[in-house]
């Protein structure tokens, strides 16, 4: 559906010590931080990062999220975090995949769902606002 390379990004992270537990394994909640870093890079790629969202008059809270842990990620492991736009018409669904940089083995997958809310009124938008389509270079059908 969205094969345009602007709608996928890959970032590299070397797992820092403060992200792991006593066993040297990444604490489960930190995966959402990795997703967030990739999501921000993805949104900035089509010029609709968090500042641009705010300036456009919309906030985009995360309303749903999922993560599936397949293999442990450990201290100092080099990982690649891929984020891709999966849906955009009525909500912004972004899929994530974390892989070991050396082997390419998938360790984690998941998604987040964000919805547009008008900043001044607090009203939920049941269709994504036109500004998202414009920034993505897509027509709003």
The CATH number assigned to the domain holding 117 equals: 3.10.129.10
Query: How many whole angstroms separate alpha carbon 42 and alpha carbon 36?
Result: 10
The mean predicted confidence, pLDDT, of the chain is: 95
Query: How many whole angstroms separate alpha carbon 111 and alpha carbon 60?
Result: 15
DSSP-derived secondary structure letter, 5:
G
In a domain, 52, yes or no: yes
Residues 12-49 pLDDT 10s? 999 999 999 999 999 999 999 999 999 999 999 999 99
Question: Is residue 138 predicted with pLDDT exceeding 80?
Answer: yes
Structurally, how many domains does the chain consist of?
1
Query: How many whole angstroms separate alpha carbon 53 and alpha carbon 136?
Result: 13
pLDDT band at residue 140 using 50, 70 and 90 as cut-offs: low
Find the domain containing 116 and state its range.
5-136
Higher-scoring residue by pLDDT: 5, 98: 98
Higher-scoring residue by pLDDT: 1, 99: 99
- pLDDT of amino acid 4: 83
In a domain, 64, yes or no: yes
Task: Tell me the β-bridge partners of 108.
Answer: 69, 98
- pLDDT of amino acid 3: 79
In a domain, 141, yes or no: no
């Amino acid at each position: 559906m969205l094969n345009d390379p602007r709608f996928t990004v890959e970032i590299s992270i070397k797992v820092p010590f403060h992200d792991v537990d006593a066993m040297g394994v990444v604490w489960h909640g930190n995966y959402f931080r990795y997703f967030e870093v990739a999501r921000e890079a993805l949104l900035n790629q089509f010029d609709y990062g968090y500042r641009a969202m705010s300036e456009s008059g919309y906030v985009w809270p995360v309303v749903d999220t999922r993560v599936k842990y397949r293999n442990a990620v450990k201290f100092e492991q080099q990982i690649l975090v891929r984020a891709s736009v999966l849906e955009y018409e009525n909500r912004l669904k972004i899929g994530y995949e974390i892989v070991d940089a050396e082997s390419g083995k998938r360790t984690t997958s998941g998604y987040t769902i964000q919805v547009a809310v008008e900043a001044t009124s607090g009203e939920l938008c049941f269709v994504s606002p036109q500004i998202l389509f414009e920034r993505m270079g897509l027509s709003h059908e």
